[in-house]
Amino acid sequence: MSPVIDHRIMVAPAWAAPAPFRAFAVRSEEPRHAMDARTPHDRVHLLTTAVLDADSVAALCTDGYARVSIESFSDVDYADTSWPALAALAPGAAGLPERLADALQRTGVLGSDVQAYRDCLLGRVDYLACRGAGFHNDVSRHWSACLFWVLALDAEAVEFVMPHAGLRIAIRSGDLLLFDQTLAHGLCRTQDAGQAVAASFETGDSGRQLFLTGEVLLSDAQWSALGSPWLPVEWHDQRGALDLMVAEFDERSGAIKQLRALRDGMKRSTCHVDPCDKLT
């Protein structure tokens, strides 16, 4: 039986880049892309899955929550794990990476060969716990060359929100989300109109969420196939792009702070790799 019950693809209707910028792009901390940037991927994939049974979900939640500390709103904590460790905790988790690979193949981000997705899932897998999440993005190290996946183990009455992409996506336990984490994103209550409101994530069990998460690392050719090729920073500068590598966001609304300080982000002189002079 297919692990996917439903697959929705949400396309960003428009990038809401604040003036004086007209577009978004993200640079890299990796030397190979020191003088390049790419546009964000404009699609978010939401897959409703049956990759875990209820008893397995309960066992993983017990283990995951015991290994993290999330006391206040927007606390986010990770705990590393492994596929064998998950299978030892919950027999229903045996074969989970293969089922997730079959689900992620539906997205097509690595092409049509399911083995590419299985190879990808041989990398890290972590528990991710939070009490809601204020708006932020994830761009350090090699992450600008990745997409992130998250599998909801415990998530009720919450929305995954990307304000600059105009997307609000209700998620619940069993949902598998694949997205470009270089864009601002947060976890909000359904009733809060896309705002990350501290008072809505009360203390106690009802205010917390738990996920499994990992990375999907894409080659340059795969980014090009998705329509987000790595191009010289000059190309992005001419388009008036704001560099997401250095952007800071208001935790509640996702608004970008200190816009004036970001005006020279797409210049060779503002390279993020140290030292830049070895790369030019």
**Helix/strand/coil for 3:** coil
- Convert the pLDDT of each residue in 132-161 to its tens digit: 999 999 999 899 999 999 999 999 999 999
How many helices and strands (H and E) does the chain possess? 6, 15
- Gap between the Cα atoms of 81 and 71, Å rounded: 21
- Gap between the Cα atoms of 256 and 271, Å rounded: 21
The answer to whether 146 and 217 have CB atoms below 8 angstroms apart is yes
β-strand partners of 47 = 7, 176
Which residues are within 8 A (CB) of 150 and not within 5 positions of it... i.e. 6 or more apart? 128, 176, 177, 211, 212, 213
- Gap between the Cα atoms of 13 and 135, Å rounded: 20
**Helix/strand/coil for 116:** helix
- Convert the pLDDT of each residue in 170-210 to its tens digit: 999 999 999 999 999 999 999 999 999 999 997 789 899 99
Strand ranges across the sheet with 43-49: 4-11, 43-49, 175-179, 146-154, 209-217, 125-130, 76-81
The answer to whether 8 and 44 have CB atoms below 8 angstroms apart is no
Architecture of domain 4-225: Sandwich (2.60)
Residue 124: is its pLDDT beyond 70? yes
Confidence of residue 277 (pLDDT cuts 50, 70, 90): very low
